[in-house]
Amino acid sequence: MSAPDLGPIGTARPTGRMDRKRSLEVARCLTPDTVSTSVLARLHDRSGIDERAIAVIDPDGGIPLYGIDADGERRSNAVATTAARMRAYRDNASPIAVRAAADALSGSGLDACDVTHLVTASCTGFAAPGVDLELVDRLGLSPTVRRSHLGFMGCHAAVNALAVAAAFAATSSSVRVLVVCVEISSVHFHHDDRLDHVISNILFADGAAATVVGHGLDRSIGRLDRTASMRFPESVDAMGWHVGDHGFEMTLDAEVPDLIGAGLPGWLREESGLDVSSVGGWAIHPGGPKVIDTVAERLSLADSATEASREVLRTCGNMSSVTLLHIIDRLRAANAPTPWAGLAFGPGLAGELVVIR
């Protein structure tokens, strides 16, 4: 069977926003004095982010989960437990997931009853019943819809979700797979001076994205041509994501961009079958500006090739698994010529590629 169609992408973000000024105030509240304000300001300047959507911020700018008041002062030294953070995840993930999914279904011209399979991805929270059943109930999906959830895979999980959807679609031309990614990263801000934790507080944001995969879609933005995976050698400790007593803890080695840069060209050339020179649009997951810089340098990409990735980073931050679909939607809006290549990286250190034609 030929490659399945990829429907229009629906996106959603929480209404709460945090600009760079407020982000610096929050970082100052969360970070011990062993890290100076000038260092925090420099990290913000280098982040490439002007604004992020943050679900746990109140309209007045306060963040009760972290004891931060509207005036930018931390009134409590208590650190939120993982249980409290999971309650915040549960309260905030479903509403934006439903909005993104409804947008994707509407854009594809499909009704809820047309969906035969539901694939969800999230790494920032756990609940059962979870987001998948909320989607079934609130969208009015069939009670017999086949559900699959990809949990804790990190920033590249959108590609894994699309690969699962493509496998389902290959079984029958009547299959319609709704793919939904949702992340509430803001429930895992840290209260210490570890540099990777400080950087995580500055980079990560919240959002959702969804699409439909199937053969013969009336409305399609392209074909899901192929996906490919790569484990970068000698990198198992370079990036991690672990459940701690006070939220999920990110491990992010400073060598991650270099590890990606060293392994990426050979993988794309020898394993994925991708002809870099033929790519009309690039969706590079912005783990940070340096990741984008490294990929562009090692693949000899023009500055214009990274514009969509940098713009999503600037206006949305790093929304983990959600981010890649937002970037692909930017390529569609810009009428970038296909094929499009999406690259994302996550714990392991692992890379995932999706090619859309």
Helices (H), the chain: 20-30, 37-47, 82-108, 131-139, 157-169, 195-203, 256-266, 289-298, 307-316, 323-333
| Backbone region of residue 247 per phi and psi (left: phi > 0; alpha: psi in -120 to 50; beta: other values) | left
Does the structure show a pLDDT above 90 at 237? no
**pLDDT value at residue 161:** 98
**pLDDT value at residue 254:** 82
CA nearest to 197, candidates 23, 31, 29: 31
**Tokens encoding 235:** 């990198």
- pLDDT band at residue 263 under the 50/70/90 scheme: confident
Number of other CB atoms surrounding residue 113 within 10 Å: 11
Does the structure show a pLDDT above 90 at 275? no
CATH number for the region 223-356 comes to 3.40.47.10
One-letter amino acid at 178 equals L
Indicate which residues carry an active-site annotation. 155
Does the structure show a pLDDT above 80 at 271? no
CA nearest to 131, candidates 200, 71, 210, 24: 210
27-41, 98-112, 249-263, range with the lowest pLDDT: 249-263
**Tokens encoding 4:** 């399945």
H or E stretch covering 353: strand 350-356
Chain position carrying tokens 């969509």? 308
**pLDDT value at residue 250:** 85
**pLDDT value at residue 344:** 96
In 3-state terms the chain splits into helix, strand, coil percentages (rounded to 5) of 40, 25, 35
H or E stretch covering 193: none
From first CA to last CA, the distance across the chain in angstroms is 16
- What is the percent of the chain where pLDDT is above 90? 82
Number of other CB atoms surrounding residue 78 within 10 Å: 11
d(CA 56, CA 305): 33
